[in-house]
Chains A and B, each alone.
Chain A
Amino acid sequence: MASKLPKSPLEHSAGGAGAAAESPGAPPRGLLRWLLTTNHKEIGTLYLVFSLSMFFIGGIFALVVRLELFQPGLQFVEPEFFNQMTTLHGLIMVFAAVMPAFTGLANWMIPLQIGAPDMALPRLNNFSFWLLPVAFTLLLATLLMPGGGPNFGWTFYAPLSTTYAPPSTTFFILGMHLAGISSILGAINIIATILNLRAPGMRMMDMPLFVWTWLITAFLLIAVMPVLAGVITMMLLDINFGTSFFNAAGGGDPVLFQHLFWFFGHPEVYIMILPAFGIVSAIIPTFARKPLFGYASMVYATASIAILSFLVWAHHMFVVGLPLVAELFFMYTTMLIAVPTGVKVFNWITTLFQGSISFETPMLFALAFVVLFTIGGFSGLMLAIAPADFQYHDTYFVVAHFHYVLVPGAIFSIMAAVYYWLPKWTGHYPSERLGRWHFWLSVIGVNLTFFPMHFSGLAGMPRRIPDYALQFADFNLVSSLGAFLFGFSQLLFVVVIVKCVRGGEKAPAKAWEGAQDLEWSVPSPAPLHTFETPPHVTPQPHP
C-alpha cells in the first residue's frame, strides 16, 4: 500500500542485471513506468496506494462531520458545507476507498492464487486503474466550484440531486461515470482471468475462497454498475436536457429514482463485503492451522447472497408508501439473507473450533471482523423488520448499522489482508508490535464511534443533520472522541506499511506456518513475473 512497495519485486527480478535495463524489453523508469505498467502486481499496488490515500481524504471529511457533532449547536462549519462533507465522505469511502482496495487485492492476489502469469487483459487493467484518479479529481474538484460540491447524500436521491442540486452536479455525474467504467472494466478482467487462466488441474471448486468471492462480486458489478450508469445518465438528462425521468411536473416520478438506485445500491453493498468474506476465509484457517470448515457451503452461501441481493432493494424504501404486500415481500427476502450469512459465520467459528490458534495481527483483524460484522448483521436484521423500520428509518441507528458492516467489516478485512500478504509483497514481516497497537486502537476507536450511535438512533436522532437535541450530547461526545482516536490511529497503519517496505524481519516463501494457497509457493517478495510456466495443481479433497 505504500508508494515504494513494488520496487523490491522489480529489483528482485532484475537481479542486478543492469544491462537488462537498456534492452528494448525493459520497463520504462520513473513516472512513466507507473503510467504504462501492465503488470498485475504493480497495478495492484497502484490501486492499493490510491485507495489508502482516498481512505485518508474520506476520513478527514468524516472527522469534519464528527467535529461539528462534537457538541450540540453549530460550531465549526456551515450546514451547507456539513452536507457536502457527509455526501463526499460516503462517496469517497464507497467508490474510492473500499472498492479500489478490493480491486487492488484482486489484482495482486488472484493471478498468484490461481497460478496465472498475469491478468487476462493487462492493458485494460492499466486503463481501468488510471480512470480512477481522473474520476475522483473531478469529484473532489466540485468542492471548489461555485455552489460547492454534491450536498444531497451519497444516495443522491432525486429531486435533491436534480432540481435542487448545486451546479457542480454535472461534474459529479461525469466522475461517477468514470469510476463506474473503471469498476466494470476491472470486473470484466477478473472474470476473464478466473475463468480462463487457472493453472492446469485447478477446477472451479479448488479455487481459494478469495477467488470465488471475487468472481461472484465481479458478476454483481457487471450486473449493477450499468444500472447506476443508467440512473446517473437520466439525472444528467433531467438536469441539462429538460427530460422528466424523476420530475413529477413532467410526468416523471422521484420514487422511480429510489427503485433504480437501490436496485444498484443493494448489490453494491454486497460488492463491498463478499471479497471480505474471501479474505477472512483465507486468514482464519491459516492461523487456526486447520482447513476451512465447509468450503462448498461457503461457495454456495456466497452465491445465494449474491442472488438474494437482487430481491431486497426496497427494504431501503419501507417508508416511501409501498403497498403492504411489497413491505412483506421485501421484509422476508431481507431476513432470508441472514441464512447464508449465518452459514458463513458458523463455518468460521467451526474452523476455529479445536484449532491451534495463534493471534498474529492479520488474525486479530479477521477475528474482530467476525464478531463486529455479526453485530452489524444483527442490527441489519432489526432494520429488516418493516414496521420497526418506520421508527429506525433515517436515524443514527442506520448509520451505526452500515458502519459496523463497512468499517470493522469491509475495512478491517482489507487491513487483515494487507497484514497477511505484506510479507509476500515486500519480503518482510510487518512489525507485530506496531500492528497490535494499530489493531487495538482501531478496534477501540471503532466501537467508541459507532456503538453509541445505536442508542442515539433508537432515541430518534436523525442522520445527516449538523445539529441535534441536547439529549443526544453525551452519545455524540463519545462518538466524536472515538472517531478521532480511530482516525489518528490509522497513521500507525501507514507507519507499519512504510517500515515493512523498507525492511524488517525477512519472510520466507511460506510466510505463515498454516498458509496453504498457491501464492505461498512463490518467493517472498514475489518477483515481478511469476508462474510464467503454469504450476500443476493436484486437487486436494475438501474436508
Chain B
Amino acid sequence: MSPVQRTVSRTLLVLVAMFAFAFALVPLYDVFCRVTGLNGKVDTTAQALVHEGVDESRYVTVQLVTRSGAGLPWRLEVEQRQLRMHPGQTVEVGFTFVNQGAAEQWGRAVPSVTPSQANRHLRKLSCFCFEEQRLAAGERLALPLVFQLDRDLPAEIHTVTLVYTLYPVASGEIARRAPEAQGGEA
C-alpha cells in the first residue's frame, strides 16, 4: 500500500465512523436523557409506590397541562388544572379522553416534565400515558394518573409542570404490537 493509499484509507475509516456516530447519537441521546432525566423525558413504565413519610414542611405546586397535537381530533380534559401537594404524598388525578372526530382512532398522550430536574423525582404509579388508547367516534374515556413526588425533590423546585400532548398513532404500528396493546387502558 502506498503512503497516499494508507492516508486515504485511514481518512475513509474516520469518515464511516463519524457517519455511524451520527446515527448512534440518536439512541445515545435517548438513553442519556432518560438516565439524567434531562429534556423532560419520562419513563413510560409504572413505578412502585414508595412508602416514605410525607414531607409536610413544604408544598409543591403541580400544574397539569394537556394539549392536542396535529392530526388527532381528540381532547384531553383534566379535573384539576393545578394542585398543591407535599413531597412523598400520593395523588390521583382524573383525566378524560374525548374523541371529537367521526371515526374510531388510536392515539397516545406523550408526557413531558418541566423543570427537567424534577423528572427523576417523579414516580408514576399509573398513567394513561404508558399505553395507546383506542376511542370510537364521540367516545369519552376516563383514566387516572397516580403519582408521587419523592422527598428528595430539590428544595428550590416549587412548581412542577406535567404536560401531556395528544398524538395520533398509525394503526399499522398498533397491529405490530397487537398482543400487548390489546389491554388498552392501564
Contact = CB atoms under 8 A, between A and B. Distances in A.
A312 B78 CA distance: 41
What is the predominant secondary structure among interface residues of chain B facing chain A? helix
Given A121-B8, A192-B7, A259-B25, A222 B39 contact: no
Given A163-B70, A222-B18, A227-B18, 13 more contacts: A222-B11, A227-B19, A227-B21, A229-B19, A230-B21, A248-B69, A248-B165, A249-B168, A255-B39, A256-B29, A260-B25, A321-B39, A323-B116
A260 B15 contact: no
A217 to B, nearest CB: 13
A163 B30 CA distance: 21
A244 to B, nearest CB: 10
Contacts, number: 85
Interface in A227-271: 227, 229-231, 234, 242, 245, 248-251, 253, 255-256, 259-260, 263
Interface of A: 120-121, 163, 184, 187-188, 191-192, 195-196, 222-224, 226-227, 229-231, 234, 242, 245, 248-251, 253, 255-256, 259-260, 263, 321, 323, 326
B162 to A, nearest CB: 15
A433 B20 CA distance: 53
Interface in B21-72: 21-23, 25-26, 29-30, 33, 36, 38-41, 69-71
B117 interface: yes
Rank and list the top 3 A-B pairs by shortest CB-CB distance, nearest first.
Answer: A230-B22, A249-B167, A226-B19
A259 B110 contact: no
Interface string B1-19: 0011001100110111011
Contact of B110 (A222, A227, A248, A263): A248
A529 B20 CA distance: 40
Interface residues of B, number: 35
Nearest to B165: A248
B117 A323 contact: yes
Contact of A226 (B7, B22, B70): B22
Contacts of B33: 253
A440 to B, nearest CB: 43
Nearest to B36: A323
Contacts of A187: 11
A256 B11 CA distance: 27
B18 A259 contact: no
8 contacts: A187-B11, A222-B11, A226-B16, A227-B18, A250-B167, A253-B29, A256-B29, A321-B114
